[in-house]
Chain A
Amino acid sequence: EVQLVESGGGLVQPGGSLRLSCAASGFSFSTYWMSWVRQAPGKGLEWVADVKQDGTEKDYVDSVKGRFTISRDNAKNSLYLQMNSLRAEDTAVYYCARGASSGTYFWVYWGQGTLVTVSS
């Protein structure tokens, strides 16, 4: 059974940093693209970032470029999102999601999310 379990969310002040983790199991993690998707309170879903199987290709939504870094550790079956210079508008539930072997288009598997609140 595919499982994606996020952790690391919490309350952080504006300008602060936070690192999210996603523990993957039930599939061959190293053979899939992985993504982060978020949902702000009362808003729709927003794709945040993608990373290729070997970490050599990454892509970000414009609003987080230069502030967020997606990475992965295939030996640990884990996905990460380092979030720096956090803003109030980054407040959201962050979901880890599995892409395809050839890229990310839609997502079949999602985690249940971890809440990030940016507030003073």
Chain B
Amino acid sequence: EIVLTQSPGTLSLSPGERATLSCRASQRVSSDYVAWYQHKPGQAHRLLIYGASTRATGIPDKFSGSGSATDFTLTISRLEPEDFAVYYCQQYGSSPRTFGQGTKVEVK
């Protein structure tokens, strides 16, 4: 089973700042099959990125994904109030699909 470790656990930033979230895999993720989700309390999870770098339908270009093999990054170029949330990475390159423990992006 691939273990995904996200860092930092909490990111304290101000609106307008850039957020860089890391997701490290315990072994190579096949075909760089990594997805990123955003979750806010009381709402459904929102798919942001799949295939490490492909934005899902309707996702604004302030969200970008990068990385390969074992190291993946989600970048939010300029934080807006609605971006403060918890973000999860997930790998689907091997079974079972696994998730990271999440990074909370909070208002500084």
Q: Please give the residue numbers on chain A whose beta carbons come within 8 Å of chain B beta carbons, in ascending order.
A: 4, 43-47, 59, 61-62, 95, 97, 104-112
CA distance A110 to B88 in the complex (A): 14
Docked-complex contact A47 and B96, CB < 8 angstroms? yes
CA distance A112 to B96 in the complex (A): 23
| 29 contacts across the A-B interface (CB closer than 8 A) | A44-B88, A44-B102, A45-B90, A45-B102, A46-B99, A47-B97, A47-B98, A47-B99, A61-B96, A62-B96, A95-B45, A97-B45, A104-B97, A105-B33, A105-B35, A105-B92, A105-B97, A106-B47, A106-B90, A106-B92, A107-B45, A107-B47, A108-B56, A109-B44, A110-B44, A110-B45, A111-B44, A112-B43, A112-B44
Contacting A at CB under 8 A, from B80-108, are: 88, 90, 92, 95-102
Chain B interface helix/strand/loop/mixed: loop
The 10 A-B pairs of least Cβ separation, nearest first, read: A106-B35, A44-B101, A45-B99, A105-B92, A110-B45, A110-B44, A47-B97, A44-B99, A108-B47, A106-B50
CA distance A61 to B33 in the complex (A): 19
How many contacts A-B (CB < 8 Å)? 45
B42 at the interface (CB under 8 A from A): yes
Do A45 and B44 contact each other (CB < 8 Å), given the known contacts A61-B96, A105-B33, A106-B35? no
Q: How far is the CB of B34 from chain A (nearest CB, A)?
A: 9
CA distance A47 to B100 in the complex (A): 12
User: Interface size of B by Cβ–Cβ distance < 8 Å?
Assistant: 21
Interfacial chain B residues near A105, Cβ < 8 Å = 33, 35, 50, 92, 97
Q: Please give the residue numbers on chain B whose beta carbons come within 8 Å of chain A beta carbons, in ascending order.
A: 33, 35, 42-45, 47, 50, 56-57, 88, 90, 92, 95-102
Residue of A nearest to B92 (CB): A105
Residue of B nearest to A109 (CB): B44
Interfacial chain A residues near B45, Cβ < 8 Å = 95, 97, 107, 110
Q: How far is the CB of A51 from chain B (nearest CB, A)?
A: 15
CA distance A22 to B53 in the complex (A): 31
